[in-house]
Structure 1
Amino acid sequence: MKGNSPFIVLITITITIFGLSAIVNSQTDSCSSTLNLQSVTLPFDAASLHCRAVWDAHSYILRYSETTPGTWTFVLSAPAADSYIAMGFSSNGQMVGSSAIVGWMSPTEGGVIRRYYLRGTSPSLVELDKGNLVLTNYSFITTQSATVYMGFQLVTDQPQTKLIYSVGPTGLLPVAPNYRLTEHFDKVATSINYITGQTTSSTGSPYTRLRRSHGVLNILGWGILMIIGVIVARHLKSYEPLWFYLHIGIQSFAFVFGIIGVICGFVLDNKISADVSTHKALGIFILVLGCLQVMAFLARPDKVSKARKYWNWYHQSVGRLLIILAVANIFYGIHLGEEGKGWNAGYGVALAILVVTAVFLELKLWFRK
């Protein structure tokens, strides 16, 4: 510093100090620092809380402890000043059927913490002030150094170990009076050992193989092979009797795949107890229509019978209705399973190919007539 005036040295030191302070204040929370909230009075010893980084993608930090017998204290922190943060307790690791604590900093109401029951995946099925979580009167939510801290206490001997964390979309906070949640921006399912503090993240939902088997079998059976069988029956009748055996063979495979897919669905429903009543009801109705088609085939009248034209009308109408409901239920099931755009795009492409093929053959048939 030789040759510099004391004034310049003072300015340099001041800038350095304030710069370091700004860096420290802008840092997110970490387990290496002691919980010290300036605006909140904690009715427990903060040093007694166990601390774990539970969601690295969004810098979620969880502090927890059984602060008094039968009362568990949780403090969740995250750098999410303009979106809600949520922590759900689940019996099976699924979002549907879990109970959650959600908090956010509102520009008009200040800090807000509410309890929700996630009865389904759509916002209308996320019910305010419901669920199986018993809370004490103590809770808080505050911001400090660009980090949101949400604290609450559960009355329970042992909290559920399967935890779900989510973060809401930026700028879309719940508002009074119904505080309806918008769909989360991101989420993760985890498991925690409250004694050791070990946390594991789930890369997929529970029973992933069973869920995907249910989806693939139903897509292949009801949503693809069934349509191919109809196209064969309509446009290959000039190849007698090949078209008939192809039609019967393809529809038989479709029906078998569909039945196995439905059975997988019942097993999955029994394991996760998800609230998918509409999807389930449609699936059962589709299966009933498939069974009616099989019985209609067995009772098929002879070609020269006067009842044959009524049988044809019935067989074709039920088949069309089955396919329409199956396609709708497949897309609905992909939505419920939260499989993402890949499954929608994959089945959408397959369906588009079948539709284009059917339209081309219809035009060819029309021009021929």
Structure 2
Amino acid sequence: MKQLTVIIFLAFFLVRLLYLVHSQNVDSCNNNINFNGIVNFNTTSMTCQVVWQKQDFILRYAQAGQGVWSFLLSAKDPSSWVGIGFSTNGQMKGSSAMVGWIDSNGDGKNLQYALKDLDSNSVIPGQGELTVVNKSDAVFKRSNRIYMAFQLSTPQPRTALIYAVGPSTLPSAKNGFKLTEHRDRISTTINYQTGHTKSLNKPYTGLRKAHGALNMIGWGILMPIGAMVARYFRQWDPIWFYSHTAIQVLSFLFGLVGFILGLVLEGLVKAHVKNHRNLGITIFILGCLQVMALLIRPEKGTKMRQYWNLYHHNAGKILVVLAISNVFYGIQLGMEGASWYGTYAVIVTLLVVSVVVLEIKLWRRR
């Protein structure tokens, strides 16, 4: 009986200990926090809201006085930078952001950035439209969480807020505090009176995804598979030829629709994607030439057939390389996050591995 009592006591003690450890490593709006002394404003009576559940972002805010608003952003430590942007329409372009991180020495750093456009070169450190109250900003770490505090001098903060988390590359004086591209982000709106927050969808989300998916499937997946069929399965004549033709025509049709949607989308969102568009036009032209080449294929054994083969094979290789590159570039511009990157990276890796295996077998046959 005594042994059972001891076991029960030890089990209860262990569970209690684990609970205490866990509670110290998490933050929630049920927790009473007091960072007075670390932060130069009162943090004990702020409105609290989980604003990004996926990344465990918690925002606390309060109106500290006439025209002064206090903010405290909390996130599980990503070993990278975290940021909150204040936008007029929920879009990055034209917004200003506060970004914080813990450097390699364990010191907290933060800086304001002006998001003048979507590319990283247009994210300007030390600039922005936010008026930060002097000596109100602080970044620090507690347990496994990072906290960024600051006050804004404004009658009413913007209600469209953008949250982002970066990769492991941190801003530093060596790189001019340049901000590396985020690995994930979300756009939201907040009602400062009620504390209610909700996510914002990107404009024309369905059109964006259709454009990306069709181009990825057409130019970025089917086109390389069709090229592989032509190179590695010629021993199955004439099946290889009909398979190659069918796959390439199907990939062209997918790519054609995706290309048209891209032009429509560019006009609707007024996007500045000159390089992506020019690559897309080049790919489309090469695709058209490849389809036309099938219709004017010279007879086997003729001298023109040799030149045709040289053109068709090399243009196909260039088309595949440009297509894969532009798909990755499009994912970056569309800010679709790690899921699109990861999925397509896995597909490309499988294609590359297949090419290596089939190439080895081809050399052995020869």
Structure-1-length-normalised TM-score: 0.68
Given that 2:139 and 2:148 are in contact with CA atoms closer than 8 Å, whether structure 1 keeps it comes out as yes
**2:59 paired with 1:61:** yes
Amino acid at match of 1:37: N
Please list the CA deviations of residues 112-167 of structure 1 after superposition, one character each: whole Å capped at 9, or x if unmatched. 44222454576x66431345x34255462236894735213265866151421437
Given the superposition, is the C-alpha separation of residues 210 and 358 from structure 1 closer, same or farther in structure 2, using an over 3 Å criterion? Answer: farther
**2:282 paired with 1:285:** yes
Distance in 2 (CA, whole Å) between partners of 1:340 and 1:244 is: 32
**2:222 paired with 1:225:** yes
SS at match of 2:137: strand
Task: Flag structure 1 segments of 5+ consecutive residues without an equivalent.
Answer: 1-22
Return the match for 1:196 from 194, 197, 200.
Answer: 194
CA apart distance, 1:85: 3.7
**2:131 paired with 1:148:** no
**2:64 paired with 1:75:** no
Over the aligned positions, Cα root-mean-square deviation in angstroms equals: 4.5
Please list the CA deviations of residues 278-302 of structure 1 after superposition, one character each: whole Å capped at 9, or x if unmatched. 4333222111211222344445455
Distance in 1 (CA, whole Å) between partners of 2:359 and 2:160 is: 51
Percent identity of equivalent pairs: 35
Given that 1:225 and 1:250 are in contact with CA atoms closer than 8 Å, whether structure 2 keeps it comes out as yes
CA apart distance, 1:333: 3.8
Return the match for 2:213 from 203, 216, 231.
Answer: 216
Distance in 2 (CA, whole Å) between partners of 1:285 and 1:349 is: 26
Given the superposition, is the C-alpha separation of residues 290 and 26 from structure 1 closer, same or farther in structure 2, using an over 3 Å criterion? Answer: closer
How many residue pairs are counted as aligned between the two chains?
A: 334
Distance in 2 (CA, whole Å) between partners of 1:31 and 1:150 is: 19
Given that 2:87 and 2:162 are in contact with CA atoms closer than 8 Å, whether structure 1 keeps it comes out as yes
Which is further off, 326-335 or 285-294? 326-335
Which is further off, 266-275 or 26-35? 26-35
SS at match of 1:150: strand
Task: Flag structure 2 segments of 5+ consecutive residues without an equivalent.
Answer: 1-21
Amino acid at match of 2:310: W
Superposed, 1:1-369 pairs within 5 Å as 30=29, 37-38=36-37, 50-55=47-52, 57-58=55-56, 60-65=58-63, 68=66, 73-78=69-74, 84-90=81-87, 93=90, 98-104=95-101, 112-118=109-115, 119-120=117-118, 126-131=123-128, 133-135=129-131, 138=134, 140-142=136-138, 146=142, 148-153=147-152, 155=154, 159-166=158-165, 169=168, 174-176=171-173, 178-181=176-179, 187-201=185-199, 209-234=206-231, 235-236=233-234, 239-240=237-238, 243-270=240-267, 276-301=273-298, 306-336=303-333, 337-338=336-337, 339-357=340-358, 359-361=360-362, 363-364=364-365, 366=366
Distance in 2 (CA, whole Å) between partners of 1:58 and 1:321 is: 43
Amino acid at match of 2:217: L
Distance in 2 (CA, whole Å) between partners of 1:347 and 1:257 is: 18
Given that 1:166 and 1:187 are in contact with CA atoms closer than 8 Å, whether structure 2 keeps it comes out as yes
Which is further off, 320-329 or 26-35? 26-35
Amino acid at match of 2:131: L
Amino acid at match of 1:262: F
Given that 1:97 and 1:274 are in contact with CA atoms closer than 8 Å, whether structure 2 keeps it comes out as no
Please list the CA deviations of residues 242-298 of structure 1 after superposition, one character each: whole Å capped at 9, or x if unmatched. 554443332211111111222333444455556554433322211121122234444
Which is further off, 224-233 or 80-89? 80-89
Structure whose CA Rg is larger: 1
Distance in 2 (CA, whole Å) between partners of 1:29 and 1:239 is: 65
Given that 1:191 and 1:201 are in contact with CA atoms closer than 8 Å, whether structure 2 keeps it comes out as yes
Distance in 2 (CA, whole Å) between partners of 1:143 and 1:231 is: 52
CA apart distance, 1:63: 0.6
